[in-house]
Structure 1
Amino acid sequence: MSSTLPGRRRRPQELLLPNGKKIIVTLPEDLEDIRRKYQNDRDTQVEVVVHGSIEHSQYLRQSRDHHEERRQLLREQHGPAFEEWEDIQNQLSSVTTELERLENQASGLYGNFNKFGYDAAVRTYNDEEPPIASSHTSISEKSREQGGERHGETTKLFKRPVIRQWFHQGLLWRASEQTEIMAIELFLDLVYVGIIHSNGEHMAEEATGYELLRFVITFVMTWRIWTSITLTLSWFESDDVVTRLEILFCISCLIGYTTNMTHIFDEDPAHNTYVQLVSFYLAARVFTAIFYGMTAYLLPMIKGIMICQIFGTAIPTALWIASIYVDMPGRLGFIVPALVLDMYGHVFFLGLFLYIQGKAPEGIWKKRLSSMFEFYPAISIEHRVERMNAFVSLVLGYSVVAILFQSDGGYNINAFLGKAILGLMQAFTFNWIYFDIDASNLNLHAIRRSRISAGIWEFAHLMFVMGYIVATSALSRLVLATDVPDTNPEQLAEPYRDSAEDHFNAGVRFFYCHGLAIALLSMGAISFSHEHKKLPMLRLSKNVRLANRIAVCIVMFFLPLAHSLRSLSLISVTLSLSIWVLIVELWGKSCTDDPFIGEKDGCCVTYYAKCKKKDLKKITSSHERRPSGEILELGRGEKTAI
Structure 2
Amino acid sequence: MSSSTPGGRRRPPQEFALPSGKKVIAALADAVPSLRRQYSNSSNDVEVVVQGSAEHTNYLKQSRQHHETRRAELKERHGAAFDEWEEVQNQLNSVTAQLSRMSTNTSGLHGNFGKFGFDAGVRTYDDGQGEANGSGEGREPADETHHEGYRQVSTIKLAKRPVVRQWFHRNVLWRGSEQTEIMAVELFFDLLYVGIIHSNGEHMSEEPNGEELLRFAVTFIMSWKIWTDVTMALSWFETDDVLTRLEILFEIALLLAFTTNMTNCFVDDPAHNTYTQLVSFYLAARLLFAVHYVVIAYLVPMVRGAMITSAITVLVPSALWIASIHVEMPGRLGLIWPALALDMYGSGIFIGLFRYARSAGADTSMGKKLNKLFEFYPAMNIEHKVERMNAFVSLVLGYSVVGILFQSNGGYNVNAFLGKAVLGLMQAFFFNWIYFDVDASTINVHAIRHSANGAVLWQFAHLPFVMGYIVATSALSTLVLALDVPNTERDQLRPPYSVRAEEHLSSGVRFFYCQGLAIALLSMAFISLSHSHRTPPTMRLSKPVRLINRVLVCIIMFLLPMATHLDSLSLISTTLGLTAYVLIVELWGKSCKDESFFPGRRDVSKMRAMADAKSAETEVQGTDNPNPGQMRADRMPLDQNDTAAF
TM-score normalised according to structure 1 size? 0.86
Q: Deviations over 1:85-132 (max 9, x none)?
A: 5545544554554455579999722222222222222221106899xx
1:202 counterpart letter in structure 2: H
Asked whether the equivalents of residues 253 and 283 of structure 1 are also in contact (C-alpha less than 8 Å), the reply is yes
Asked whether the equivalents of residues 515 and 558 of structure 2 are also in contact (C-alpha less than 8 Å), the reply is yes
Q: Deviations over 1:2-49 (max 9, x none)?
A: xxxx9994433323334432222222222222211211112x111111
Asked whether the equivalents of residues 472 and 515 of structure 2 are also in contact (C-alpha less than 8 Å), the reply is yes
Specify the alignment match of 2:233 in structure 1.
Answer: 232
Are 1:31 and 2:13 an aligned pair? no
- Structure 1 residues 129 and 226: CA distance shift in structure 2, 3 A: closer
| More deviation, 286-295/26-35 | 26-35
Asked whether the equivalents of residues 552 and 577 of structure 1 are also in contact (C-alpha less than 8 Å), the reply is yes
| More deviation, 583-592/436-445 | 436-445
Asked whether the equivalents of residues 103 and 127 of structure 2 are also in contact (C-alpha less than 8 Å), the reply is no
Are 1:187 and 2:180 an aligned pair? no
Q: How do residues 85-104 of structure 1 correspond to structure 2 at under 5 angstroms?
A: 86-95=86-95, 97-98=97-98, 101=101
In structure 1, distance between residues paired with 2:312 and 2:332: 23
Number of residue-to-residue matches in the alignment: 585
In structure 2, distance between residues paired with 1:25 and 1:45: 14
- Structure 1 residues 330 and 477: CA distance shift in structure 2, 3 A: same
Q: How do residues 314-329 of structure 1 correspond to structure 2 at under 5 angstroms?
A: 314-329=315-330
Q: How do residues 53-202 of structure 1 correspond to structure 2 at under 5 angstroms?
A: 53-72=53-72, 75=75, 83=83, 86-95=86-95, 97-98=97-98, 101=101, 108-126=108-126, 150-202=151-203
In structure 2, distance between residues paired with 1:432 and 1:226: 25
SS, match of residue 535 in structure 2:
coil
Specify the alignment match of 1:608 in structure 2.
Answer: none
| CA shift for structure 1 position 309 | 1.1
Specify the alignment match of 1:289 in structure 2.
Answer: 290
| CA shift for structure 1 position 440 | 1.3
SS, match of residue 537 in structure 1:
coil
| More deviation, 491-500/326-335 | 491-500
Specify the alignment match of 1:15 in structure 2.
Answer: 16
Specify the alignment match of 1:433 in structure 2.
Answer: 434
| CA shift for structure 1 position 345 | 0.6
Specify the alignment match of 1:381 in structure 2.
Answer: 382
Asked whether the equivalents of residues 200 and 469 of structure 1 are also in contact (C-alpha less than 8 Å), the reply is yes
1:469 counterpart letter in structure 2: I
- Structure 1 residues 580 and 95: CA distance shift in structure 2, 3 A: farther
| CA shift for structure 1 position 494 | 2.2
- Structure 1 residues 479 and 83: CA distance shift in structure 2, 3 A: farther
Identical-residue share of aligned pairs (%): 63
| CA shift for structure 1 position 194 | 3.2
Asked whether the equivalents of residues 308 and 349 of structure 1 are also in contact (C-alpha less than 8 Å), the reply is yes
In structure 1, distance between residues paired with 2:432 and 2:8: 47
| CA shift for structure 1 position 522 | 0.3
In structure 2, distance between residues paired with 1:262 and 1:592: 53
Specify the alignment match of 1:539 in structure 2.
Answer: 540
SS, match of residue 459 in structure 1:
helix
| CA shift for structure 1 position 241 | 0.7
Asked whether the equivalents of residues 197 and 469 of structure 1 are also in contact (C-alpha less than 8 Å), the reply is no
| CA shift for structure 1 position 61 | 2.4
1:468 counterpart letter in structure 2: Y
Asked whether the equivalents of residues 475 and 512 of structure 1 are also in contact (C-alpha less than 8 Å), the reply is yes
TM-score normalised according to structure 2 size? 0.85
In structure 2, distance between residues paired with 1:147 and 1:505: 72
Asked whether the equivalents of residues 403 and 475 of structure 1 are also in contact (C-alpha less than 8 Å), the reply is yes
Specify the alignment match of 2:464 in structure 1.
Answer: 463
In structure 1, distance between residues paired with 2:129 and 2:372: 28
2:57 counterpart letter in structure 1: S
In structure 1, distance between residues paired with 2:572 and 2:444: 36
Asked whether the equivalents of residues 105 and 125 of structure 2 are also in contact (C-alpha less than 8 Å), the reply is no
Unaligned runs of 5+ in 2: 1-6, 131-145, 608-638, 642-646
| More deviation, 263-272/86-95 | 86-95
Q: Deviations over 1:145-179 (max 9, x none)?
A: 99996521011111111111111112111112211
Specify the alignment match of 1:262 in structure 2.
Answer: 263
Q: Deviations over 1:254-282 (max 9, x none)?
A: 11000001011111100000000000000
- Structure 1 residues 13 and 496: CA distance shift in structure 2, 3 A: same
- Structure 1 residues 362 and 63: CA distance shift in structure 2, 3 A: closer
SS, match of residue 218 in structure 1:
helix
Specify the alignment match of 1:622 in structure 2.
Answer: none
- Structure 1 residues 489 and 10: CA distance shift in structure 2, 3 A: farther
- Structure 1 residues 149 and 100: CA distance shift in structure 2, 3 A: farther
SS, match of residue 215 in structure 2:
helix
In structure 2, distance between residues paired with 1:177 and 1:7: 9
